[in-house]
Structure formats: C-alpha cells, structure tokens
Amino acid sequence: MQLPKAEEQLMEILWKQEKALMKELILAYPDPKPATTTIATLLKRMQDKDFVDYVQVGRSREYFPLVRKKDYFAKQVNGMIKNFFNDSASQFASFFTQETDLTEQELEDLKKLIDKQLKDKKS
C-alpha cells in the first residue's frame, strides 16, 4: 500500500526518530509546521493502516513505526517495476541507467553491487 505524500512525510520522520511524542514530531517538520490536529489525523489514519502504533507514556502517546522503511520502499519499487516495466527488472535497470544522469563512478558502483549479488547467489 502506498501512503499519500503527507503520511509518507510523517513516516520519514518516525523512521528517523524511531519513536516520538507528538511535540517531537511537530518539531521535526520544517516551517510552517502543521497543526497538532493535522498530525493527530495523519497518525490515526496510519494507525488504521497498521503503519504506526503508540504506547501511552503518562498523558502522552509515544508513536513508533510498525513498518520498516526498507520494507516499505522495496514494496513501492517492486510495484513500480510491475506496473511500469512489465514486471521486468531488466527493463527497469535499462531505463534507470539510460535515463538518469549517472556518473561513471556511480555506474561502476552499480556494477560492483550486481557482481556481488551474482557471486552471493552462486554460493
């Protein structure tokens, strides 16, 4: 499931902080900061989607992510490959390497990553 932009932005803050009270979440936003009610609404929606939960700390709630950032983005990339590249990682890689302005060093780094994955799969 892909989150709307506002919820994804809040998840980014939670992933970075690992756990946070409402006031800490609001402070982490750039100016102009959203209203407390806006953040509370986003958190409730995200809780309903099983992306976040909280523990009661005195009269406050300490929120934490239930979904790891790596898992969320892996699912998004896999969905994009399926929807836009006919479920072909090769088509995605071809598009990515041709249509982005990668430096020679970045391409070499990608090659090393692929070579390592090939080696690991053979072992």
Question: pLDDT (tens digit, 9 = 90+) per residue, 72-106?
Answer: 999 999 888 999 899 898 898 888 888 888 899 99
pTM value is 0.77
Provide the residue type at 22 as one letter. Answer: M
The answer to whether 25 and 9 are in contact (CB under 8 A) is no
Q: CATH 1.10.10.10 region(s) of the chain?
A: 5-65
Position 32 pLDDT exceeds 90: yes
Amino acid 93: pLDDT: 87
Confidence of residue 123 (pLDDT cuts 50, 70, 90): confident
What average pLDDT does the segment 18-22 reach?
96
Q: What percent of the chain has pLDDT over 90?
A: 67
What average pLDDT does the segment 5-10 reach?
96
Amino acid 98: pLDDT: 87
In words, the CATH class of domain 5-65 is mainly alpha
* Neighbour-count burial of 42, counting CB atoms closer than 10 A to its CB (0-12 exposed, 13-18 middle, 19+ buried): buried
Say how many C-beta atoms besides its own lie within 10 A of residue 29's C-beta. Answer: 14
Position 33 pLDDT exceeds 90: yes
